[in-house]
Amino acid sequence: MAAGLCSRALLLSTNNTQQQHHCCQTFSFRTRRRSRSRSTLDLSALPLPLSTRLPLSRPARFRVLCQSPGLSGPDLAVQDGQDRLLKVPVSNIRNFSIIAHIDHGKSTLADKLLQVTGTVQKREMKEQFLDNMDLERERGITIKLQAARMRYIFKSEPYCLNLIDTPGHVDFSYEVSRSLAACEGALLVVDASQGVEAQTLANVYLALENNLEIIPVLNKIDLPGAEPDRVVREIEEVVGLDCSSAIFCSAKEGIGITEILNAIVERIPPPKDTAERPLRALIFDSYYDPYRGVIVYFRVIDGTVKKGDRIYFMASGKDYFADEIGVLSPNQLQVGKLFAGEVGYLSASIRSVADARVGDTITHYSRKAEKSLPGYEEATPMVFCGLFPVDADQFPELRDALEKLQLNDAALKFEPETSSAMGFGFRCGFLGLLHMEIVQERLEREYNLNLITTAPSVVYRVNCVNGDTVECSNPCLLPEPGKRRSIEEPYVKIEMLTPKDYIGPLMELAQDRRGVFKEMKYITENRASITYELPLAEMVGDFFDQLKSRSKGYASMEYTFLGYKESELLKLDIQINGDHVEPLATIVHRDKAYPVGRALTQKLKELIPRQMFKIPIQACIGAKVIASESLSAIRKDVLSKCYGGDITRKKKLLKKQAEGKKRMKAIGKVDVPQEAFMAVLKLEKEVL
């Protein structure tokens, strides 16, 4: 865009008022101010491109009509911010989201939209502008969603474009669904070289459930391996979208960005004008600010909200006074009032994120809405693991760090846990494996903690003989065999998209993990979709790593929770010298009990230091030993002084040694070093 007087298109007009042209060149020039509202500029010497050169027979004078004459530097940035705060009619508001698979260029496209609309100044621009955390930048993923308000001039009319950036991973599918519920349209970004992937499909189905207008965008068309025609056919065949008006773009090179902005204005419907109704606003994100409390991101569905209003959260039942209301552009800019269709934030000295959960409905305390907005759910942890500090003195720091993280992340659950091997720690619940990795990495980076993580497990349902149902995430809490009638475990439906060359290895992987084959279909000549139902416990280990290695990185996967099913599950105990070692107990399927028990006993034999007496290491199901190893004793050579003589002398010395060892075994205890526990926990992650 032109950046001489302001970051907008300049309207150039000659003395002949019938000819008007838009010029989008960046000029460096000086102006002579004539009044507060306009400046005069002689453009006869400027090297205009052929497409914008005017048919002049003599030098002419041009008037540059500009919204911000005479401003530069910080003043110009402030003026730009103020312009984005200007109200537009509801018919000129567009709320949209960007949905894409990981690494298909979603964040790059968002950056370019912010840059082209002048929302972010060039000097402030950086890659992945909306990804604030270092972890997001390193991994190239979006963890915490962001919103940005942009102002775009189309056919001489100002439009307000609200971009709601969403995380792409399946762990955060609930947050994505609430973000999409706050929009009327979505850009479906597909890599022109890779084509449709698993998470592309999952997010498209979420968007279709919310009745969004979907605009297909083929990104990375500048790559040598791009095949846009093939990908267009894929989208039409797999997703069922009409791609006759699909936009070909390259976010990195800036190709097709204007076409995308025009399509957003022309094809995405405006929100309904329901400002007269009682207030209903949908929360699509919230985070904790140490100085202002919880900051809530919301979309006004009905009514209006202004600074100072007493607001009521319908799901949590809490009420607060709105101290500050504003819009995100993408930095927070305060406003006095927000109307139906607008997206903004509010601060009300809220102390806990749990009081303003994602999906909750905001209404006025004095004029409550009749019913809340549909779709609200409590976040339910699906994967559990134990977190223990390597240094026991760091336990208070770990507790404080988890409490601070929970202020920002209402889905994180934790409770104290004690282990005979690793001391004091916490049993933590997460939405999925990526969520678990992110929390662990943030604890280690931001709070300088060294942690031991136990093997991830899932929540089992135990149906007892007396009719009770007990939920159990820790093998130590499993009821005795005589008290339980059956055990149920969570199942997921998994869809794998893969090139046809890797169908065999991936089917073998799913069968090994107790998967039940459902269907296989070819979505194109060379790509297939394979659907299985398999236990979540089989997937929380290294399933994703195996999927990538067996397909050489080409396959992708998506899973959805189905429910609980009864399975033949057992508690596998480890005994060392006759004593149960609770931290090493696991819940396994009957078919896998022997290989898992054998692997654990062999690994422990390598890791436990030898003692003065023989140590049996056993894997047991109840009282039945299914795998056993023994660690031989360290023996002193008591026969070294017997260089001759009768055999009875030697037998007497050996018998005396054996009696001593028997007495030592009866009273001796085996200390399993922490390194052994860590190695076995790592092994459990691999074999389970």
Residue 158 · residue 92 · CB < 8 Å: yes
Is 674 buried (19+), middle (13-18) or exposed (0-12) by CB count in 10 A?
middle
More confident position, 149 or 79: 149
- pLDDT at 20 (0 to 100): 36
Nearest to 597 by CA among 683, 499, 657, 527: 683
Tokens of 351: 């102390």
Tokens of 681: 């926990």
Residue 332: predicted pLDDT: 82
In single-letter form, the type of residue at position 189 comes to V
Q: What is the reported pLDDT for 79?
A: 47
pLDDT of residue 306: 87
Residue 621 has pLDDT above 80, yes or no: yes
Local confidence band at 484 (pLDDT 50, 70, 90 cut-offs) = confident
Look up residue 560 and give its DSSP letter.
E
Choose the weakest-confidence range: 142-151, 396-405, 510-519: 142-151
pLDDT at 112: 83
Query: What are 514-547's pLDDT values in tens digits?
Result: 899 999 988 777 788 899 999 988 887 778 778 8
Of 113, 65, 135, nearest in space to 438 by CA? 135
Structure confidence by residue, pLDDT tens digits, 55-70: 444 444 443 434 334 4
- For residue 444, what are its two tokens? 């280690």
Q: What integer pLDDT is reported at residue 630 of this predicted model?
A: 84
Share of the chain above pLDDT 90, in %: 2
Alpha-carbon distances of 587 from 282, 430, 475, 583, 684, rounded to whole Å: 41, 19, 6, 12, 11
* 573-593 residue pLDDT tens: 888 877 777 777 888 888 888
Which two structure tokens, joined as six digits, stand for 564?
């609980």
Model confidence at 666, in pLDDT bands (50, 70, 90)? low
Among the listed residues 9, 61, 68, 6, the one whose alpha carbon sits nearest the alpha carbon of residue 36: 68
pTM: predicted TM-score of the whole model, two decimal places? 0.68
Instruction: Say what the pLDDT of residue 1 is.
Output: 39
pLDDT at 478 (0 to 100) = 84
Residue of higher predicted confidence among 175 and 25: 175
Q: What is the mean pLDDT of residues 353-371?
A: 85
Most confident of 44-58, 268-282, 398-412: 268-282
Q: Which long-range contacts (CB under 8 A, 24 or more apart) does 399-408 make?
A: 399/426, 400/447, 401/443, 401/446, 401/447, 401/449, 402/426, 402/428, 402/443, 404/447, 405/439, 405/442, 405/443, 406/353, 407/288, 407/294, 407/352, 407/353, 408/287, 408/288, 408/353
**Phi-psi sector, 397: left (phi>0), alpha (psi -120 to 50), beta:** alpha
- Tell me how far apart the alpha carbons of residues 71 and 341 are, in angstroms, rounded to a whole number: 32
Q: How confident is the model at residue 42 (pLDDT cuts 50, 70, 90)?
A: very low
Burial class (CB in 10 A: 0-12, 13-18, 19+), 256: buried
Rounded CA separation 373/37 (Å): 46
Q: Is the pLDDT of residue 261 over 80?
A: yes
pLDDT value, residue 531: 92
Q: pLDDT per residue over 289-332, tens digit each?
A: 888 888 888 989 988 998 888 999 888 888 899 888 988 877 78
With H, G, I as helix, E, B as strand and everything else as coil, classify residue 292.
Answer: coil
* Lowest-pLDDT choice from 124-128, 205-209, 432-436, 648-652: 124-128
Tokens 């008037």 locate to: 63
pLDDT in tens, 155-170: 888 888 888 877 766 6
b/e per residue 184-202 (b: at least 16 CB within 10 A): bbbbbbbbbbbbbbbbbbb
Q: What is the pLDDT of residue 6?
A: 38
Mean pLDDT to the nearest integer, 501-516: 89
pLDDT interval class at 273 (50, 70, 90): confident
pLDDT category, 671, cuts 50, 70, 90?
A: low
